[in-house]
Amino acid sequence: MEGMNGERPVLLLTGASGTLGTALGSALRSRYDVVAVRRFRQLRFASQLRSFVDPLDPAEPLEENVEPSYEIVADLSDVREIGRVCDIALAKFGRVDVLVNAAGVPGGATLLRGGLRPAARVFEINALVPIRIAVELTERFWRHDEAGNRARSRCIVNLGAASSLDLEPHLGGAAFSSAKSSLNVLTGHLAHELAPFSVRANVVAPAPFPTVVPTERVVAAVDQMISADESGRMLVVWPDGDELI
């Protein structure tokens, strides 16, 4: 994906302080203007609010500070905050070309003995928030720039999970896997509804990382789906290779 007239494409990244968000922000900042959205944890790459210093030579410029991201602190479970994030990104850069939803919460609870209590939040963050952000961007910007969407190959990549396809349940994974299954279906519907505006939507569904697959493979899969012509598809990152569904 390339910018127009020498402009770098703008990437809105949620979950930017997590394991995958950190890897994505670090890997893609050389090619994108990254809007990095985080909540509690500090970013581990440079932003307009955070830079790095060599304690032995504080005046020495560091490569880590080149191409800093634009950091936004927000609670995406609040619908009003989603609108604020979109407004800030559009006011700062004038557009958003890529939305990568890497924000998520684990669902480590069984179904019995009150284990469903956290399920509402698991579904909220893992399934509904990514779609809400995409809808908000569409209503505020993409709906009104179909030609720009086509020219810039604008797209959404939602982070799913290989467990959403696994029919062999494991203890404590019901809410998480079900939420990610819902995200798969919602993203498919989203891709269909965004097609008239020339915006693509796909899912990258990795096996657990970094324990089962390296985080770098997940980053590569996200990068692949940003650049691909596909829409309404899922790229599953298995330990023994990738599968496009």
DSSP string, 154-221: -EEEEE--GGGG--S--TT-HHHHHHHHHHHHHHHHHHHHHGGGT-EEEEEEESSTTTTS-HHHHHHH
Q: What order of strands is seen across the sheet that includes strand 241-244? A: 70-73, 33-38, 10-14, 98-101, 155-159, 200-206, 234-238, 241-244
Q: Which domains does the chain have, with CATH numbers?
A: 10-54+61-106+121-166+180-244 (3.40.50.720)
Q: Above 80 in pLDDT, residue 34?
A: yes
Which SS3 state, helix, strand or coil, does residue 242 take? strand
Residue 171: per-residue pLDDT: 66
Supply the pLDDT for residue 117. Answer: 80
Distance CA(11)–CA(155), nearest Å, equals 10
Q: What local confidence, expressed as pLDDT, does residue 193 receive? A: 98
Q: Which tens digit of pLDDT belongs to each residue from 176-219?
A: 999 999 999 999 999 999 999 999 999 999 999 999 999 999 99
Residue that the structure tokens 């669902």 belong to: 107
pLDDT in tens, 146-159: 999 999 999 999 99
Q: Measured between alpha carbons, how far is 220 from 12 in angstroms, rounded to an integer?
A: 17
Q: Are 83 and 136 in contact (CB under 8 A)?
A: yes
The pair of structure tokens assigned to 120 is 């509402």
Q: Is the dihedral of CA 81, 144, 68, 231 positive or negative?
A: positive
Q: Return the structure tokens found at 125.
A: 């963050």
In degrees, rounded to 5, the angle at the alpha carbon of residue 103 between the alpha carbons of residues 217 and 206 is 30
Which pLDDT band holds residue 112 (cuts at 50, 70, 90)?
confident
pLDDT of res. 2: 53
Q: How far is CA 122 from CA 26, 109, 125, 187, in A?
A: 27, 10, 6, 17
Give the global pTM. Answer: 0.93
3-state SS, residue 116: coil
Neighbours of 65 (CB within 10 A): 14
**Per-residue confidence (pLDDT) for residue 148, from 0 to 100:** 98
* Mean pLDDT for the stretch of residues 50-79: 87
pLDDT tier at 61, thresholds 50, 70, 90: confident
